[in-house]
Structure 1
Amino acid sequence: MSMAFMGTRVAGVVNPARRGGASRRGAARLALAAALFALSSCASSVADMGETATPIRVAHLAREDGDAGALKTLSADFERRNPGYALDWHSDFREFEAGGQPVIGFVQAGSARVTVQRAGGGDVVSDPELTVGDVLLLRPTERLTADSSISVVFFTVPAALPVGLPSFVRPDWDERITDTPGGCAEETGAYRRILLTWMETVGPYVYHALNCHRVRITDSFAHYHPVEGGFDEFYLVQMAQPGAVLYTSEATNRIEDPTSVSEGEAARMIDKHVLEVGDLVYLPRGTVHRGYGGVLAQIITVPGFRPGAEIGVDHYLRAINENLGLTGEAALPYREASSTRAVVR
């Protein structure tokens, strides 16, 4: 839009050539209008970059101190974005009591026979021992005791646990939980076990405030979960082969506009995170991500895994490579099988 400053009104400012006494006031107002316009333009350009409001966070729980500083930052970001939730890491403990909200725990280290003292009376005992990959569900004020030390990532959740949910969900022992290829592991025979699900047609244990599935990822498609109607996601790494990585990007909007991406921008577009056992990776809504190379992880979503909220971008990444002639190490990584069309799941 062109602006003529002589003999016209712009944003209610009178041309000083016609009102000499108002020249200083007019100049000040023009300066203010220009500044506001510039700020608006800057805000638009930042939004156009498509960066998520909260960056990706990684806490290395296997470190001696549990990577306390990184975990504190990760937890604070997650809790700020998700009111009513909390995240805690309890290492090498034998007793735990839920507070006034339900708690869902992911066993990350150790094995133990666990007893849950139910709020309504009576005890539930794990048989056999709980171990890595198993999930604990505690209702308010319930208490657990373990006969040996275990380490658990706990999520405090805002919604009551349905009556039908058990105290323990065990992917390798529960006959109702079977391999369900899809999502991050589509190959036939893939290890992908859905523990808490959004829909009863997908698994036996339905809960909407948090979903999780334990999956072995070798070559996931690149995707993100939209800010509106999507969900935050965690990778809790429980096994990792040499070379296992997680590719991520916060430049989602730019990826979805492949014809405008420059070679310099492409070089900074994708981050590569080498994965190790004990890594807890927080992926806020809107973050592009792709697991690759052999990682067994608990994939945890808050709130639940809503159908239609996995938006694939491999076809955009491929288009950027082709538009810029990027090959070899300069090429953006993508999954060939999902790069010829738009994929939404």
Structure 2
Amino acid sequence: MPSKAASPGDPDEIAGPLTRAATFLLVRIDSGAEGVVADFLPDLPGLRRSVGFRSLTGGLSCLVGIGSAAWDRIYGGPRPAELHELPVFKGDRHASVTTEADLLFHIRADRMDLCFELETLIMARLAGAVTVVDEVQGFRYFDARDVLGFVDGTENPTGRAAREAVYVDDDGAFDGGSYVVVQKYLHDMTAWNALSTEEQELVIGRRKLSDVELPDAEKPADSHIALNVVTDDEGNELDIVRDNMPFGRPAYGEFGTYFIGYAKSPVVIERMLENMFVGSPPGNHDRILDFSTPHTGALFYVPTADFLEDPPEEAPAAKEEEPAPAEEEPERVAEPDDSLGIGGLRETAEPSAGVSWFRG
């Protein structure tokens, strides 16, 4: 988990080095289980440290993202300023996908056994409290390539630029956290492999072998690279940090990319999504979508480790509703009151949702 006290290079930092293995776990909080989750989250940083100590060179980290509706169910009170449910972006031919997920666990390490062990302990603690929405094990593929054969994440910022791109720095109690969007994409490899290498390069906007970006004169306006460059009003490019991973089951014909992108503001990713699915200008959609289909997607806020270990007091999920004394308004004692307490929060809360997007 990111922490204001973390030093550069700390494996818990979002902007730290990429790893060779990862597990992406999406879950929904079961009705009535908010208290179990609220009790567990402060223990997660310590649990990660316990597993990580078994391999000091394994680079184990675990980032937890909390969805918009889940935030209110767990914490209540103040919330991250830009935490919300992403809209669906629908163009003439393609539309983004939303997933009902409350929590994201992004577990990563240089060895899959560390990811496996930590996920096992997490699920043991949350048994009976959450429902699994999706689980993907990712791996680093040769020289950081995706299963389409192209290097992924070339434009990731590094060092100070990476920290400036991902960490919230103007939201008071939520400084040091980050926003994250995840999307699971499956590729039509038969259609993709039917293209020549030159045709594939025009879809992506890079040379396949050398990873060199195509010159502007050769790069199509609907290429993936062209549509995922987002700038501010002054023309400065806005960065995110990607930690994408290939995944798949060749025996089942399943080949995919799990996109995960961190940013200090979800607005950056929203603009990329609109460019991809709606087009820039409208109708000029990202050609990668002709070969890659979104299957999941969600938006979360990632608190700091300090926040997780010392959350706000009087979290709604942790409070027990006290029944009204029998002598006060006895005629109403037997009537349900859904406007107060956990029950009312459960009924008014909607699962968080996001949108799907592939890579930049």
Q: TM-score, normalised by structure 1?
A: 0.25
Higher strand share: 1
Greater RCO, 1 or 2 (C-alpha within 8 Å, sep 6+):
2
TM-score (normalizing by structure 2): 0.25
Normalized per residue, which structure has more helix? 2
- Higher Cα Rg: structure 1 or 2? 1
